[in-house]
């Protein structure tokens, strides 16, 4: 560990390189052990250098954004965690073309496009997280998906910056080719439509809907399980009588059964044990096997 830490520290300085950083500070679940090394690059060139250093030292690395869709195990993360955050949050709007960097929050991006009298992204309002993570998993809600108005994506691959047309990006339900390729989203270009006066109302209605139906007062990673081909995960969990069921500090939300929430002192083991229990109970009753939507990283 010392070797790569010193290399990164010497190249980039202590202001962006941290050792044994608690990951509960960097996830919306507020759960997780320490990252061996945690770094917050300021530009794409630094990201490329960091990854090259990881490869030189044979160290694994993990890219995160807002940490809104991950559960970090209690033993933490070996290697290097690279956070693409506020340094990558520029938005440029020209006509109906919107260019945004990967670190911008979806809330800010949606708000800015509505203010520019454009529609197409308002359906994503209220989804936590950053643009890069949203593209990685093709985030969506209430019939909207981020791919719907996406035109192209700028990525870093093997130290090179490339622009990829959306037609070649293999985006489906909660997936993209990013999950199987060594690519990092840097920027995205959207082609939107002129607002017909409905964008702001749609965004406000969806925010109200989230606030009334989702447990936003508790830390979580959003929807815990993917929507199965037969019905909805939340309905299946509710029908299994699991609302309010808890293990340790982890609990199936009383408000929305699709969410596992942190009551304040949950460990990753609590969440994982509860997820397994929910999967087994739902399968026993319905014959449907739920799949995690959240990404589980780190070690026990």
Residues designated catalytic? 174, 223, 293
Pairing of strands 77-83, 295-297: unpaired
**DSSP letter string, 229-246:** SSS-HHHHHHHTT-TT-E
Listed in sequence order, the residues at least 6 apart from 156 whose beta carbon sits closer than 8 Å to its beta carbon are 44, 47, 48, 51, 162, 183, 184, 186
The alpha carbon of 160 is separated from its chain's Cα centroid by a whole number of angstroms, namely: 24
Residue pair 108/130 in contact by the 8 Å Cβ criterion:
no
Element (H, E) at 47: helix 44-56
* Sign of CA pseudo-dihedral 232, 237, 238, 243: negative
Distance CA(60)–CA(118), nearest Å, equals 41
CA dist 125 and 127 (Å) reads 6
Nearest-angstrom CA–CA distance, 96 and 102: 19
Q: Cα dist. 269→33, 72, 73, 178, 257 in Å?
A: 11, 10, 7, 27, 19
Dihedrals φ, ψ of 130, to 5°? -105, 170
């Amino acid at each position: 560990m010392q070797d790569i830490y010193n290399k990164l520290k010497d190249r980039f300085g202590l202001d962006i390189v941290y050792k044994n950083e608690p990951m509960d500070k960097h996830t919306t679940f507020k759960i997780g052990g320490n990252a061996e090394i945690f770094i917050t690059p300021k530009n794409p060139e630094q990201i490329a250098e960091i990854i090259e250093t990881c490869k030189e030292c044979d160290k694994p690395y993990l890219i995160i954004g807002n940490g809104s869709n991950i559960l970090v195990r209690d033993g933490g993360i070996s290697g290097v965690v690279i956070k693409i955050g506020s340094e990558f949050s520029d938005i440029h709007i020209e006509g109906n073309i919107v260019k945004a960097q990967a670190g911008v929050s979806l809330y800010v991006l949606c708000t800015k496009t509505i203010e520019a009298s454009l529609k197409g992204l308002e359906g994503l309002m209220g989804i936590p997280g950053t643009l890069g993570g949203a593209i990685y998993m093709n985030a969506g809600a209430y019939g909207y998906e981020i791919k719907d108005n996406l035109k192209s994506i700028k990525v870093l691959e093997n130290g090179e910056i490339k622009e990829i047309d959306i037609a070649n990006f293999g985006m489906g339900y909660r997936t993209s080719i990013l999950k199987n390729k060594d690519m990092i989203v840097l920027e995205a270009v959207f082609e939107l439509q002129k607002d017909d006066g409905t964008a702001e109302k749609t965004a406000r209605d969806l925010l109200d809907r989230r606030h009334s139906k989702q447990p936003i007062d508790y830390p979580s990673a959003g929807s815990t399980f993917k929507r199965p081909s037969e019905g909805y995960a939340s309905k299946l969990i509710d029908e299994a009588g699991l609302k309010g069921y808890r293990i340790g500090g982890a609990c199936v939300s009383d408000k929305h059964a699709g969410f596992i929430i942190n009551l304040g002192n949950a460990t990753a083991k609590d969440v994982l044990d509860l997820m397994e229990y929910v999967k087994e109970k739902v399968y026993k009753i319905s014959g449907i096997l739920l799949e995690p939507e959240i990404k589980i990283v780190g070690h026990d």
